[in-house]
Structure 1
Amino acid sequence: MDQALPTPAVEAAKKTVLRTAVAVTALQGSVITGLVVWDAIKRRSRSKRPGFPHPGSFHSSIGESNIKLYTFGADLYADMLESIRGAKKQIFIETFIWKNDEAGLQFKDALNEAAERGVEVYIVYDVFANLVVPGSFFTFHPAIHVYRFPMFRPSLLLGTIRSTSLDHRKLLIVDDETGFVGGYNIGSLYATEWRDTHLRVTGTSVWDIRNAFVSVWNRQFPGRNPKIPHTTPGTWESRIRAINNIPASLVYPIRGIYLDAIGRAEKHIYITMAYFIPDQQILRALLEASERGVDVRVILPRDSNHVLSDWLSRGFYRSLLDSGVRILLYRNAMIHAKTATIDGQWSTIGTANIDRLSLTGNYETNLEIHDEAFATNMEDVFDFDSRNSHELTLEEWSTRPWIARFSESVIIPLRPFL
């Protein structure tokens, strides 16, 4: 049977759809260009910001594990470098961004020196995140095992979500005795000019951070590098768990722990997030919590280092404010933390943002901690940061310029990509 030819009406409809798609894409491109230009102008004044108060460091113990909570990069880097320089047997380090500046060179030199004295060193870094860093910077001592998480992979041809992943983790484990995890990348900017949160764990629960590194290295990073022997923790500390998103296996449990904890909340939910673009289920969970009387507060950057993320996030402000969620915009610095604490019992700190890239895209690691003393420390940090934030009111948000509302609406279709 002959195939029917398209009618003129069908052809006209196709052309209309195509023209509409092109027009929408062009409009989105124009809006994004305008936002980037405007942000670049604003950055000139941001460079003169007076600095920001930082809460300091906090200590707590859970069973046989000790935890140090960091809120200032220089303090964290000092302890990380001390651990690397004191290493006797083994170092695992994984980072998303590694700058070729003073801080970055300190870490590189310390790792090379460790390898020189016989310490076995394993390094993972993300190639895409470091495109602006000269490749020569990532030349290490020949004894160091290096996995460069590739920007282009054969699986990209499959077009699946696991193919678009980046290695967004920030881990350091030394001699199976000390482990670090949190939001800090490696670079001088982060040491003193960004507000972030990180943890050091010593004792039994270092195993959880070690296993996060080893399990991915052994199963997901093929090549000439040797496999790392598996160990057991000896003591199972159930109050501290490393939760790992592993795109190659389509495993994304961090989103689940957020949904479970938010659903259980009775008193308060305090979230600090660098990039906040929740999917509909997480957004609904937060709105429902607020509507049932839970005190929901979210600290976000007033101006982050990613202008598109900022504007996509602002598209949720009206719904949050209408439901009674308090939005606190952090001032005078980029706040890059990825933390939450709920009801004085449950907390999480790690590498994952509440957005598509982190929760259903990238390799990520968060620690989930059930402990009242640690939650108290987290609440103290949140309270301190709140005092350096501007609380956005519904009235203020309702009177923003029409051009802002228009820009927010135009870029809404981009949410699933970030």
Structure 2
Amino acid sequence: MARGIPPLRPGHELQLLEGSREFFPALVSAIDASRSEVLLETYIFDFTGSATEVAYALERAARRGVAVRVVVDGFGTPELPPACVARWDLAGVQWAVFSRPGFFGLLMPGQWRRLHRKLCVVDGEVGFCGGINILDDFHDPNHGELASPRFDFSLRVGGPLVAEMRATMHRQWSRIEAIGQLRKARLAGALGFVRAVANERRGHVTPPTHSDPNARAALLLRDNLRNRAVIERAYLRAIGRARSEIVIANAYFVPGGRLRRALVKAAKRGVQVKLLLQGRYEYFMQYYAARPVFGVLLAAGVQIHEYAPSFLHAKVAVVDGRWATVGSSNLDPLSLLLAREANVVVDDARFAAHLRERLAYAMQHEGKRMEASEYERRPPLQRGKEWLARMIMRIALIVQGKTYR
């Protein structure tokens, strides 16, 4: 294990799922087959369109006696619809909100440390990890109906990593419950709850799922304690070892100096570096703050393709046709310095080829390649917006006590 990056372990069955149209049916099927426990964490839980099928599946599971726990982020999901909450409460779905923003919202230190990971574990046997929120592909909370589906991926996992996913979700639930009780000045009850959950975890042993021993994988969990840089380090190591090709699809791509230099060095030593990035305006800061870094990348020979049909929300990569990652972490300071994220890293040629094929198709048929000459001719107004977006991002990081290098 190098610099805190967990080793890849064999024995995993992996299935790539594209968009909610593939992810939701697989998720609902697993929940409907659950016997004892369903754990789900998501940044956004939007009760619109096909996302309601997931909500109903959770309700059905709770009604037949399955322990169902749902955690949503307090900024990504500021409110749950009262009618849905009433149904969940009646069915016995346990749900909690991670870090509700206070009166001053994201202006307060610590409030950008969001729960951004998207995880689900069913019966300790099947896990899901990726970038897809519980949000219909054709719906956006800010932009309304979409003409084309959002571009994103999740991963269905069977094998040893599922136990790790379950353990981290139980820890997160116990923290939320304990903090809630502490705020109500019930310190003794909170400590008792933490001890009870710890005992429950120690007493539960989940047998690993037997699967293809050639599918090696590792779970990377970024937090603000011991694992602050694990996802960035995994990217840096894969990029540094690349010999032929690096393909990255990332929604909010604002790499720091280390990642930029790694990509430039790879391109200069002859590696084909291809980026598939957000081509449609979604959020001002993330859209414009990314653009100032494009110049140095284009000058080094990095290919930049902007996804055109809809919003690109993917956070995936393939290196040398074998190393791959699927997860929730963007390559920007909000993900790499502040948010709780979860990525799965895979070493498997068949899986990597499948993901690479989809990204290659998107770059060729659904994206527009950026030309260096066109980039240099962008108008002064756009350059001004880029400067403003970068300043907003820097100020936000300063408020949170962070610097991005």
* TM-score (structure 1 length as normaliser): 0.77
Corresponding residue of 1:181: 129
1:292 aligns with 2:241: no
Is the contact between residue 248 and residue 316 of structure 2 (CA under 8 Å) also seen in structure 1?
Answer: yes
Structure 1 pair 214/288, CA: closer, same or farther in 2 (3 Å)?
A: same
Structure 1 pair 305/184, CA: closer, same or farther in 2 (3 Å)?
A: same
1:64 aligns with 2:42: no
Corresponding residue of 1:384: 361
Which one-letter code corresponds to 1:202 in the other structure?
Answer: G
Alignment of 1:41-56 (within 5 A): none
Corresponding residue of 1:147: 96
| 1:332 counterpart SS class | coil
Alignment of 1:230-245 (within 5 A): 230=202, 231=204, 239-245=216-222
Structure 1 pair 150/160, CA: closer, same or farther in 2 (3 Å)?
A: closer
| 1:319 counterpart SS class | helix
Corresponding residue of 1:406: 384
In the alignment, the residues of structure 1 paired with residue 171 and residue 96 of structure 2 have an alpha-carbon distance, to the nearest angstrom, of: 14
Which one-letter code corresponds to 1:183 in the other structure?
Answer: G
In the alignment, the residues of structure 2 paired with residue 135 and residue 363 of structure 1 have an alpha-carbon distance, to the nearest angstrom, of: 27
Is the contact between residue 19 and residue 137 of structure 2 (CA under 8 Å) also seen in structure 1?
Answer: no
Which one-letter code corresponds to 1:126 in the other structure?
Answer: D
Is the contact between residue 205 and residue 233 of structure 1 (CA under 8 Å) also seen in structure 2?
Answer: no
Corresponding residue of 1:87: 34
| Structure 1 unaligned regions, length at least 5 | 1-61
Alignment of 1:105-120 (within 5 A): 105-120=52-67
* Residue 275 (structure 1) shift: 0.5
Residues 232-255 of structure 1, C-alpha deviation per residue, up to 9 Å, x if partnerless?
A: 666698921110012255634111
Corresponding residue of 1:193: 149
In the alignment, the residues of structure 2 paired with residue 405 and residue 141 of structure 1 have an alpha-carbon distance, to the nearest angstrom, of: 50
| 1:229 counterpart SS class | helix
Residues 372-399 of structure 1, C-alpha deviation per residue, up to 9 Å, x if partnerless?
A: 2222112112211112111101111122
Identical amino acids, percent of aligned pairs: 28
In the alignment, the residues of structure 2 paired with residue 233 and residue 118 of structure 1 have an alpha-carbon distance, to the nearest angstrom, of: 19
Corresponding residue of 1:205: 161
1:78 aligned to which of 21, 25, 34: 25
1:102 aligns with 2:79: no
* Residue 150 (structure 1) shift: 2.0
User: Aligned residues, how many?
Assistant: 355
| Structure 2 unaligned regions, length at least 5 | 1-8, 140-147, 182-192, 398-405
**Structure 1 vs Structure 2 CA RMSD:** 2.8
Corresponding residue of 1:13: none
1:343 aligns with 2:315: no
Alignment of 1:249-328 (within 5 A): 251-328=228-305
Is the contact between residue 97 and residue 129 of structure 1 (CA under 8 Å) also seen in structure 2?
Answer: yes
Q: In terms of Rg, which structure is larger?
A: 1
2:68 aligned to which of 104, 121, 129: 121
Residues 213-247 of structure 1, C-alpha deviation per residue, up to 9 Å, x if partnerless?
A: 23333456524676252456666989211100122
Which one-letter code corresponds to 1:198 in the other structure?
Answer: S
Structure 1 pair 244/189, CA: closer, same or farther in 2 (3 Å)?
A: same
